[in-house]
Every structure is written in C-alpha cells, then in structure tokens.
Structure 1
Amino acid sequence: MARLPVIGFISILLLAPAAYAPAVHAQVQREVLSFTAPSRNGPVTVTAELFLPPGDAKLPAMLLHHGSGGVTDTREYAYAREFSAMGVASIIPDSFTPRGVKSTMADQVSVTTNDMIADAFGALKAAAAHPRIDATRIGIAGFSKGGAVALRSALRVIADRYVPDGPRFALHVPFYPACDTHYRDTRTTGAPILMLLGAADTYVGTESCRSVADSLKAGGAKLDMVIYPNAQHGWDGVGAAWSQPNGENWSKCFFVQQADLSWVEQTSGIKTAGADGRPNADAPKALAVCRTRGVSGGPDAAAKAASLAALKQAVRETFKLN
C-alpha cells in the first residue's frame, strides 16, 4: 500500500534462442525487456522475457505474472508455449530475482503485491513500445500473488496511478488470486475480467474474491467468475498435492479502504495505513490477528484443462483471433 513511484527507464535486449534453456516453442524469438521499478531498498532493474512467434505482423500479447514461488517452467513458460502456438506473444516478468528473493511464501511482504503491480505496468509499457506488439491488445494473466496483480491492475485508480497517460491491459485473467485488498473506488478500465477460483482453495479462499467480484460488477465491470469444484490452490500445477506449514496464510485478512482513503483490516478492526497508503505502526498488529501459518494446494487435471480452455477462449474473443 506504499505510494507508487513513476516507472522509469525501459530497454530491450535481443538474445539468441540458445540462451533460453526451457524452449517455449520452435522458431520463437526471445527478447528481454528491462525497466526500473520500486523495492523497499530503493529502485531496481526488473527484467521481463518476451517471446515472439515468427512473422512480421503485429501481435497480441499476454503478460504472465508468477506467484509466491517465482517463475517456473511448468506454469509461466508452459502457458507461454500455449500462446506461442496460438500466434500470441508472451511477456514473463520476474519480480523476485532483482529484489534478492526466491520465494515469498513464508514472508509475503519481502516483495509486495504493489511491487509486482509496478512491474506489470513497467512490462506493459515496454511491450507496448515494441514494434512487433499491438499495444491495444496486451492482456494479463496472473497466478496466486500474480493473480492479485492481474485483478487489481483492472482498477482505474491503479492504472491511472502507475501509467496515467500510458497503455492499459485489454484483458485480465486472475487464477486463484489473493483478494485481500478492497478499494473504495471499484471503477475499472473497462477491460473484461475472467476470475478463476477453486472451491477447495484454503490458501487464499473464495469468500473475499466473491465480495470483490460483486463490488466490481456493481461498479460496471464486465466480469465473469468461474469456480472449479474440488480444485485446490494451484490446480494447474504438476506433481502431487503439497503443503507448507510455515507458509503465510492471509485468507482471513481483509484490508478495506475507508471513506477518508485510509485502510482498516476488517478482521482485527485495526487501522493499518493512512490516506497516503503508507503502512503505520499498527499494521503488524493487524497481521498478528488475521494471518495464520500453513498453506497447501495441488493439481487437478479437470480444472487445469477447463481453465486453460477458458483462458484461450477469453484471449481469442478479446483479441479477435480465428
């Protein structure tokens, strides 16, 4: 909730395909976009990988923002491979490495959601300036913590703060997002939102996301919500079900913006930030009440197939693909 600095320098570096070990798709060109973004220790240089299907035509693109475990071949790169086959470019920012963090599972404020939102808009600006990318057809899909980014970036107040005169995301697809932050101004940019939730998700839960969805719809948002029965957190993963006893669980935390623009954590009733969004000395006390330890999740083949189909359909419809 800290105040958000202006995103700075943007550059593009072309790399040979051999520099990329987990190949996304044959003949796909890889580039690296870089830009400055905030962190709690001062500005950092963040990079985002850009994967371009072959050809010369302007391409639509999807930004894929990782969750608390960082970028993985089985999720972000796997989705990039799917998009490459569709003729859609992919943008994969890494919010953790430049901030010296591998995972936020045990400490979610080591890299905040606001940090990641800044990265998303930095990557959006960089991609929109690329000669192969259609700046009007860039969407965002995010997973867990990245899902919160995909959701909040649809809010007009957020987009106007980060890129007041810049591009906007054309589509927002949050997968199992954290919905713990409830803004008073629920007007969106107008881009469609597809919220994908798991009925058995105990990591972030569904109650707060239902509430956020209702408020966004009341504000005029075009929002569709799908809840997959029995699906746990990270249903689109691979391997076995998993658990992390020391993982931070914020599913009972609800930070609600007040009429004076200050913030109150609803479970504890504690004011956590002023109108400027800066956390106050009582913020840790609120977390001590609402935060618990222990997170878990696991793959679900049916939900994975259904959510991939829903994502692709949303991309086709929004970008007007065949």
Structure 2
Amino acid sequence: MRRVLCVLTAMIVFGAAAALCQAPQAGTTTITFQSSTYSDFRQLLMREAPNGTVTIRARLDFPDEARDRYPAVIVVHTISGYRDANEGYAAAELRKAGFATLTYDSFAARGTTGAALSGSPAYLPAGVADAYAALRRLASEPRIDADRIAIVGFSYGGEMAHLTAFERLRSALNPGPGRFAAHVAFYPAGNYGVIAESGAYTGSPVLMLLGEKDDNLPVAKIESYLAYARAAGNPAPIETVIYREAHHAWTVPSLVTLRFYPDYVSTKKCPLILLGSRGPAFLIDGQAKPFEPGFLGACMSEAPGYSMVFDAAVREQSISDAVQFLRQKLQP
C-alpha cells in the first residue's frame, strides 16, 4: 500500500514524493523485558521455579542506514556493569557495520554490582536468563530480523556469550526453536563447557577472542577443552583468535596501567566445569571426571586475582574480527 501511495504521489509532485517514500530514521528506543533469578545452574536446568523475577531496562539502538528489518546484536557487559566507554563503544562500532544493538545492565537491574555477586553460584545463571529474555524481547520487535540476532560479551559477558550456546540452557530458558544466530566472547572467564556429546551446542557458531597474556583464562585451558571435544567425536563449534601480548580486559580504556587485581575471583587454576545430561563434571587431563564442589572452592582460593590493561590496537583489531565474523554469519 505504501508503495502505491508513493507512486501516486510521484505522479503529482516528484520532489515531495522522494522525501515521503524514504524509510524513517531508526534512532534509539528504551525497552524493558522480564527476566528471572536462580540460585545456581542446577535449579535452572531442573526447570524449577526461579527465586524471583526482575524487570530490566535496556537501550535498543539502530544504525543510521534505514532499512525495513535489521540483524541485531545483544551486547553483554563485564563484571563492572555496563559502561559507555566499553560496551557502548563496541555497540557503536557494530551499528556502523549495520547491526542494531541492545545493551543493558544485569547487576544494576537487581540493585547490586558484579563485585558483590562475584564468586556466587547465582550470578552466572541470572546472566544467561537475562540474555535469553533479551533475545525473546528483541525477536518481538518488528524492525528486527528474529533469525539474525547474535550475542557479544566481555569477560563476564563473554562467559554469557559462550553459555548461551549450550543447548540444555537454551531449551530450559527458551523452549521454542529460537536461538542466537552467533556468539562472540571477548576474553571470557572460562568457567564452563559441556560434556562432549551429540547436540550439546545449539549449532550456532561461536567465536572466542583470547589474550595470550590473559592470566584469568590461560589459552591452554580453552585449547585443552577443544581437544577433548574433538577426541570425543563431538567437536565444539568454536573458532578462536589469540592476540599476542594481550591481557584481560584489553577493550576497557580506563585500565591505562597494567595492574594485578588480587580481590577478583578467578578460576584459572580450576578445571573447566562441564554441564551435561547426567550432571556436571570436571575436565581433568582431557577427561570428564566426577564433580566435587569442595574442590572448586579450594582451587579458586589457591590463586585469586588477575591482571588487566587496555590495548587500543588489540581493541581495534578484535572488534574488527568480531564484525567480520558476524557479517559472515548474519550477513547484514
């Protein structure tokens, strides 16, 4: 109908018709969505009722280029919460590449901070719940292509980007066919993987961007996980890019000097926790071993803290690599 009106108007006055037929500028929209809070992954995976619900306020931004429907990226923050200089900067770069972006702060919505929740078994499942709640809300937007929504995350958010690729978590939180079309994890925490079995991942591609000098997630830990999955005959759908000399949080410009932060919780000395249909396990020496909760606390207390520093060149290159990956997978 709009096309017919445009044609008729053009027959009357061409100049006015040109302005009338242009799609409106997309701009910025504030939206809200409902999410849930869980005590731990067991509660979530058993599909027990959550501890409570939370309303999350989010910002939906569109590229300057007008189109009927946009591919989109949900951008998830670090443990420090949403910051314009980090997540906001990355979202702006994604919009330049043609993606709509959704940003929010999981911690602020719950009236707390990541530092206060760090080490708690509750803060990771809540983040996954938020990401899938954001996916459902974004998929309902008429200007968004629901089949082309990706997730990008930094550190804590990087762990969300990986966790949301686990099929058991997806089906528990999003029982329909909906899934993220792609996942990009910037310097993730490296806490979790999956038992190497058929259908463990949703099938969407995952890109992990890792720092050679990241002492929170040693590269060898991810390489060991990928080797385990390949040896088991169920390789993980993960591509990795490793940046030489890069430390944790290389995208955060406020971290101007390399420093070690001893108060942050780290699992660098802990084995990867593998989620599976028969319960969790540890990845030790390339094999899934019985899960012992007490061992996890001991290995975290053995080596707390990690180093962080900004690297402008690595930030530029890693965001470029993320954009290239998303363009390939989502084709904006």
One fold, TM greater than 0.5? yes
Residues 35 and 55 in structure 2, CA contact (< 8 A), matched pair in contact too: yes
Which of structures 1 and 2 has the bigger CA Rg? 2
| Cα distance, 1:106 vs structure 2 | 7.4
The counterpart of 1:45, out of the listed 48, 55, 59, is: 55
Distance in 1, Cα, partners of 2:102 & 2:275: 35
User: Match of 1:18?
Assistant: none
1:197 is paired with a residue of what secondary structure?
Answer: strand
Letter in 1 for 2:63: P
CA RMSD of aligned residues (A): 2.6
Residues 77 and 153 in structure 2, CA contact (< 8 A), matched pair in contact too: yes
User: Match of 2:226?
Assistant: 213
The counterpart of 2:191, out of the listed 180, 187, 191, is: 180
Distance in 2, Cα, partners of 1:246 & 1:118: 27
Distance in 1, Cα, partners of 2:34 & 2:117: 27
| Cα distance, 1:221 vs structure 2 | 4.3
Distance in 1, Cα, partners of 2:72 & 2:126: 22
Residues 188 and 219 in structure 1, CA contact (< 8 A), matched pair in contact too: no
| Cα distance, 1:160 vs structure 2 | 1.8
Unaligned runs of 5+ in 1: 1-25, 273-282
Residues 137 and 170 in structure 1, CA contact (< 8 A), matched pair in contact too: yes
User: Match of 1:127?
Assistant: 138
User: Match of 1:261?
Assistant: 278
Distance in 1, Cα, partners of 2:291 & 2:228: 21
Unaligned runs of 5+ in 2: 1-24, 40-50
Query: CA deviation digits over 1:266-285, x for unaligned, max 9?
Result: 67x8744xxxxxxxxxx355
Map 1:222-301 to 2 at 5 A: 222-239=237-254, 240=256, 241-257=258-274, 261-265=278-282, 271-272=291-292, 283-284=293-294, 286-291=296-301, 292-301=303-312
| Cα distance, 1:121 vs structure 2 | 0.6
| Cα distance, 1:294 vs structure 2 | 2.1
Residues 141 and 175 in structure 1, CA contact (< 8 A), matched pair in contact too: yes
Change in 2 beyond 3 A, CA 1:285/1:317: closer
Change in 2 beyond 3 A, CA 1:215/1:188: farther
Distance in 2, Cα, partners of 1:296 & 1:136: 38
Residues 192 and 221 in structure 1, CA contact (< 8 A), matched pair in contact too: no
Answer 1 or 2: which has greater helix percent. 2
How many residues matched?
Answer: 285
Distance in 2, Cα, partners of 1:105 & 1:176: 21
Change in 2 beyond 3 A, CA 1:258/1:128: closer
User: Match of 1:169?
Assistant: 180
Change in 2 beyond 3 A, CA 1:222/1:103: closer
Change in 2 beyond 3 A, CA 1:166/1:92: farther
Which stretch has the larger CA shift, 165-174 or 246-255? 246-255
| Cα distance, 1:110 vs structure 2 | 7.0
